[in-house]
Chain A
Amino acid sequence: MEAFGLLLHGFAVLLTGKTLVLMMIGLVLGIFVGVLPGLGGPNGVAILLPLTFTMDPTSAIVMLSCIYWGALFGGAITSILFNIPGEAWSVATTFDGYPMAQQGRAAEALTAAFTSSFIGSLVAVLLITFLAPMISSFALRFGPPEFFAVYLLTFCSFVGLGREARHKTVISMSLGLLLAGIGMDTVSGQLRMTFGTAELLRGINFLVAVIGLFGISEILLTMEERLALRGHAAHISLRVVLSVWRDLPRYWVTLLRSSFIGCWLGITPGGAIAASFMGYNLAKRFAKEPESFGKGRIEGVFAPETAAHASGTSALLPMLALGIPGSGTAAILLGGLMVWGLNPGPLLFVEHKDFVWGLIASMYLGNVVGLVLVLTTVPVFASILRVPFAAVAPMIVVSCAIGAYAIQNAMFDIWLMLGFGVVGYVFKKIGIPLAPFTLALVLGNRAEDAFRLSMIGSGGDLKVFWSNGLVGSITTLALLLLFWPLIEKLLARAGRPRRARPAPL
């Protein structure tokens, strides 16, 4: 109950007119940067960071974290309306969100996304409030083998639970892994596949690839098929919102499962991206008719959004308690903390109570205010779809280019983005899924490093992946998921004769 008292103290710190105004400003700015495809949370927060130097730390972090929440809400908008994920973890939201928008159910999809984001963050904030000290010590148990096991789990769940033909998933994933190898190899300190060019030194930025693969290729496809965005007639009223909410209890299992996955992966640094994919895949696996996923099913929006936001929120915990940022945006918030003389670490919770609990309280308030704000503005955003394609398309391309450029201030990235646009177009035409490719591109490097560090640490012994209960169970689960289709068949075969036998008797 100590946590409860501290939380109330946090609210007391927060509930001043000035902080509330800053909160609103932050949220609106955040939604704005979130809506511009490619600009997204990290850039938005980075641009606005210096504005907060003259504020006291608590007001400053409240404003910045509200920009963060706003950008998270805003990111869902572009994923659903334009098939352009703003942050890595919004990729899975496009799978069903975009088809829904095309069927004229944009408002429903947006409401679902916002609501589930809210639920996901809420569960994670509750977790942070009451379990913070325990969880930060749990995160410390992750060494290289544990990290590798988590990445393996994500990859395996894709192959084992994916909806596409498995060989296509593997092809797509392998290509992603190949491209992830470009640049400096941390373990040996050598350059790989850079062909002597300075541009390839830093490797291929994940966001540049995503903007091209999803955004640009979508524009190409739309141009080819029909010169119109197919999501018009997006009528929104309070009734849509209420009807989505009325159906919410039906999906409680999905919501709960995704929240759990999100929180669990969120506190393992860098797990937020994996969480959204895994939330989606598991929802599909346990659904009654998995085939309907990817064709505009509302559960396909609930599952990844809840997981992504649960993990996005709980990712702030390792940042505060250990100084390890879980996402790009968290990394910039980390920089902000240091400017105000707050050093993330185990003592932050003890020495800067006002700040930490003010921040946690702002997560509650920011999310509630943010939800109201985005829901009331859904009609405005969904109406973007009614603007003629000829007018919207160039704007999307331009903002994609700005986004790609802004990530590293490199002209080369714009060419790369266009190149990925063509790749995405070809992949869609020949039916190779894009998601495993992007997943491999973003996690490939980390998985490789984790594997090689485990091998150095164990002297090349693979048994290290079963060396304790934690890593052992994750690895085993990963392998089970990988061979799930086979296991399922075997179980079915083993089950049938047994049931069949009593009949002749």
Chain B
Amino acid sequence: MKAACTAAALLVVSPAAAGWEPTKPVEIVVAAGAGGASDQMARMMQAAIQKNNLMKQPMVVSLKGGASGAEALMYMKSSEGDPNKVLIAYSLIYMLPLSAKIPFDWRELTPVSVIALDQFVLWDNAAGPKTVKEFVQAAKAASAPFKMGGTGSKREDHVLTVFLEQKTGAKFSYLPYKSGGEAATQLVGNHTESNVNNPSENLEVWRAGQVRPLCVFDKERISYTSKVTETQSWHDIPTCKEEGLDIQYLMLRAMFLPGKVTSEQQAFYVELFQKVTQTPEYKDYMEKQALKPVFLSGKDMLKFLEEDGQLNKSLMTEAGFVAK
């Protein structure tokens, strides 16, 4: 009897504890253009949530890639207290305030969860040098500017280029394009010699045999061993360290709510995205696009953000990209 009572009480209590639920369609705010890595990830989550019925309200993707993503940051900042908007963030949350003096601090938003870590790979044209060593030699020997394509100025790709220069002594001309997709096609068309795109941005042209991955900027190789092209898997790409280039960089993919939302609202999304990470759509996406699946929330996430923010700040300072 007592047990039944408790059970009944629990039944009554638990929906109340789950408490809050969105009453309007939820907007996933993408701080990049159409077709970029953030957009692809947002679409995957949108489909995963809808197909697995994880939320009653529909989810819509809204692209706010204006001003190199600053548009999305300011939009989130000005949406204080609105629990129907989630930002899919990446390292721009640390870098933009430093390089362009955007009045923004990630602490003004409500962290929900870190959902993945993204890799960076050094790519060149399939007709170009075959190894990192040959690549560095070619860059040093080049008489015309040796071109590195990337997304945006004074951001991840640009920072990596500066570190490549520092480690190898070669000189690169960095061409800031509007998106990773553009950087990919420009490499295929031989308008640049190389890029440092995320795996997802170069995946299709790699599969078509138009570009070659030289090395991955991580401590260890990517774990996925199933074949992506006819002969290679993600795991077959050596780390840059193995090839004598000691540069490492991983980028967060994390969800944020606007500032001043209630803890029930935050809890709802923590649970939602945890469920997303268990869907087949998410797992499939991680493997196909070579992302590292992680899930951090609460204190772990805050600790991660503080450390990651410090790291990015020191990298930006070292590269000389911090605006005075």
- Give chain A's interface residues, CB within 8 Å of chain B: 46, 50, 53-54, 140-144, 183-191, 198, 201-203, 322-325, 331-332, 334-335, 338-339, 343-348, 408-409, 449, 453, 456-459
Contact = CB atoms under 8 A, between A and B. Distances in A.
Interface of A is mostly: loop
A191 B191 contact: no
B204 A347 contact: yes
27 contacts: A50-B58, A53-B50, A140-B189, A142-B189, A143-B186, A143-B191, A144-B175, A183-B66, A186-B152, A188-B153, A189-B68, A189-B154, A189-B155, A189-B158, A191-B101, A201-B66, A201-B67, A202-B67, A322-B181, A323-B181, A323-B204, A334-B35, A338-B40, A339-B44, A343-B204, A457-B175, A457-B192
A457 B144 CA distance: 8
Nearest to A194: B67
Interface string B7-47: 00000000000000000000000000111000110011011
B56 interface: no
Interface of B is mostly: mixed
A203 B100 CA distance: 15
A53 B190 CA distance: 37
A53 to B, nearest CB: 5
B173 interface: yes
Contacts of B62: 409
A347 B203 CA distance: 11
B204 A50 contact: no
Interface string B196-220: 0000000111011010000000000
B221 interface: no
Nearest to A137: B189
A332 B64 CA distance: 13
B253 interface: no
B174 interface: yes
A453 B152 contact: no
A283 B191 CA distance: 34
Nearest to A460: B145
**Which of B34, B64, B207 has the most chain A CB atoms inside 10 A of its CB?**
B34
Interface size class of B (residues with CB under 8 A): 35 or more
Contacts of B184: 323
Contacts of A203: 66-67
A191 B178 CA distance: 15
A331 B321 CA distance: 31
A140 B47 contact: no
A198 B74 contact: yes
A141 B34 contact: no
B191 A201 contact: no
B185 A322 contact: yes
Interface in B52-109: 58-64, 66-68, 70-71, 74, 77-78, 99-103
Contacts of A458: 144-145
A142 B64 CA distance: 27
B182 interface: yes
A201 B70 CA distance: 7
B144 to A, nearest CB: 7
A459 to B, nearest CB: 5
A325 B152 contact: no
A323 B77 CA distance: 31
B271 to A, nearest CB: 22
A458 B51 CA distance: 49
Interface string B137-153: 00000001101000011
B188 interface: yes
B150 to A, nearest CB: 11
B293 to A, nearest CB: 18
Contacts of A143: 186, 189-191
B43 A189 contact: no
Contacts of A191: 67, 70, 100-102
B74 to A, nearest CB: 4
B285 to A, nearest CB: 9
B34 A334 contact: yes
Contacts of A201: 66-67, 70-71, 74, 102
A324 B182 contact: yes
A400 to B, nearest CB: 21
A346 B43 contact: no
B82 to A, nearest CB: 11
A331 B34 contact: yes
B128 interface: no
